[in-house]
Structure formats: structure tokens, C-alpha cells
Amino acid sequence: MSEPAMPELAGELTGELAWGRHYLAVEPAHFRVDYVINPFMDLADQPDPVRVREQWDALVATLRGLGAVVDVLPQRADAPDMVYAMNLGLGVRSGGERKAVLSHMRFPQRRMETDSARDWLVEHGWTTSLIGRDGVGAHFEAGDAFPFGDALVVGYGPRTEELALKHLAAELGIRVRGLRITHPGMYHLDLAFCPLDERRALVCPSALDAPSAAALLDLVPEPLVLTEEEALSTFCANSVVVGRTVVMPACPDRVRARLEAWGFEVVLVDVSEFHKGGGSIRCLTNPVDITLGRDLPLTGGAQVVLAPH
Ligand code: ARG
């Protein structure tokens, strides 16, 4: 009897992500460290405004150079962290419609960002909804949410609350897979997880409790596993992928070798000034081309799958 044909994928190209070619970013006119809401922030270590502008311009130019569209939203003067556009909300497309589930930030210092995001999105043809607001209802920060495999994968714990997962699933008619984040330095899933293509992702299991780490490693057929040290000291999971190019703030040699063996090209952009606020390349950009039925299977009803804990 002949062996069943096994797909031999190591080193071969697998399906590119269809999303990640259109981003929203916030022009950093008022970026500074005004308060401390994560372990990277230090009031004594302020970003240099000239370098901030140069680094952000270089990031936007790099993404545009790769063929991505980048829309730019102005920054509110009273919202220094608004530069981390990833956290404004989760936008999805469905047919001709564009829907954004706005974030309900854990910390009051960031809550006003949502109002500006809503106004801009509405002006640009999006309909918006909220899971909670002004501290009432579940917290949701969109840096915790990514489509991968058969679901929207959502980290909860430090920022997003478990209750938000049900609302997201119901609002969008999708399956949500919840992962419990326990690491205080990886307070958003985007510091520990980066989808690379249909089968591959950067994954830092030490951000999660053991059952959630196992669930994520089960979900990603070919994970590129990062150590805690790699994820925290280089922000390398906080990268974006445009087709087969990974735009990264830094890339350990070991990680680069694996990415290149898989057929990715690595492009580095220094955003070190933004690390002072606790965010890197992914945090500075919000993908607005995630499409229901293409990147996120429609389940016809809300489904939430949690790892046991
Ligand atoms: N200072 C911001 C905060 O703590 C950093 C946000 C980083 N953004 C991200 N998507 N991880 O909320």
C-alpha cells in the first residue's frame, strides 16, 4: 500500500495573507510619555520629537514602497498614545460595507482616542459600534485581535476583558478564540503573535498561560517560536507583513534565517523612539482590509472558544 501524500511544506511558500495591504496610522504630532500604563513607559525617558517624526515617516514610506496604502489620521493634542493606531479599533470589510468595532480602552488616559477614531471612520464611510465606553462595559483593545486560521484570535487579560470576546463574536458573526495573556510585559497580543501567512506566525508562548500557549501552538501549523527575551527586548513580534515582506523593528539572526528559509524578505525600520511608549511597528499601524468571509470565516452565529484555565 502506498503512503498517503503528505504535503512537504518546509521551505516552501504557503498562501500569503490577503490582508495587511491597507493601514491606518496616526501622525505623531503629540507623542510623549505623560503617564505610565505599561512596563516600558518612564516619564524620565521622553521621545525626541525630531527622531519621532523621522522614524514614523520612514515607516510610512516603507509600507507605501511595498505597495500598501496608508491612510493618516491626525493626532489629538491630549492623547499622546494615540500614535499606537492599532488600538483604536478592529475594522472589517463585508461586501461593500466597512464596520469598525471601536476599542474601549482599559486605562482612562486613552479613552478619548476612540472618539476621534469614530469621527474619522464615520467621515470615511465606516459604521462603528462599541463594546463598552467610559469605563462601563467590557474593555477591548484591538491590539489584542487578529484573524488567523478559522477565527479571530483575541488575547485577554491585561487589557481586553474575557467578556469582550462574546460581544466581538456576536457583533461580527464569527468564531473568536480567546487566549489568556499573563505576562505583564506583553499586555497586548500583538507583542507576542504575528500572523505571517496562512500557516505560519511568530508566536511567543511565554506571554500566555500554559493552556492558551498550547492552544495557540495547536492553531498555527508552522509557528516560529520566539523566546520571551526575543519578544521583549526587540519587539520583533510587533511587526507587519505585506505579502511576503515582514517589516520589523529588529530581527534576531535566528529568526531572520527561519523567515528567509520560508521565502520571506525582512525589512528593518528603526522605531526605537516609539518603544519608549511601549509599542512598535504593529502598534503604529492598524490594518483596515480584514475581510469577513475571506480572512475570517462567517459562522452564522457567535462562537467563543476558550482554552481551559
Ligand atoms: N502606551 C501604549 C499603551 O500602553 C502602548 C500601546 C502599544 N500598542 C499595541 N498595539 N501594543 O497602551
Is the distance from the beta carbon of residue 37 to the nearest atom of ligand 1 less than 6 Å?
yes
Longest Cα separation, the chain: 70
Distance between terminal CA atoms of the chain?
43
Q: How far is the CA of 156 from the centre of ligand 1 (A)?
A: 14
- Residue 164, judged by CB atoms within 10 A of its CB (0-12, 13-18, 19+), counts as buried
Q: How far is the CA of 283 from the centre of ligand 1 (A)?
A: 6
- Domain extents for the chain? 7-306
Residue 292, C-alpha cell as written in the block: 469577513
Q: What is the identity of the amino acid at 171?
A: E
CATH class of 7-306: alpha beta
Torsion on CA atoms 198, 61, 231, 30, rounded to nearest 10:
-130
pLDDT of residue 11: 52
Torsion on CA atoms 170, 139, 28, 32, rounded to nearest 10:
-170
Question: Ligand 1 atom closest to Cα of 191?
Answer: 11
Q: Judge whether 58 and 95 are in contact, CB under 8 Å.
A: no
> What tens digit of pLDDT does each residue of 69-127 get?
999 999 999 999 999 999 999 999 999 999 999 999 999 999 999 999 999 999 999 99
Give the β-pairing of 265-268 and 245-248.
parallel
pLDDT of residue 226: 98
> Which residue minimizes the CA distance to atom 9 of ligand 1?
283
> What tens digit of pLDDT does each residue of 26-37 get?
999 999 999 999
Q: The dihedral of CA 80, 83, 84, 86: what is its sign?
A: positive
Active site residue 236: no
Q: Quick one: pLDDT band at residue 12, thresholds 50, 70, 90?
A: low
| Identified catalytic residue from 188, 204, 236, 251 | 188
Question: Which pTM value belongs to this model?
Answer: 0.95
The arrangement of strands across the sheet holding 245-248 comes to: 240-242, 245-248, 265-268
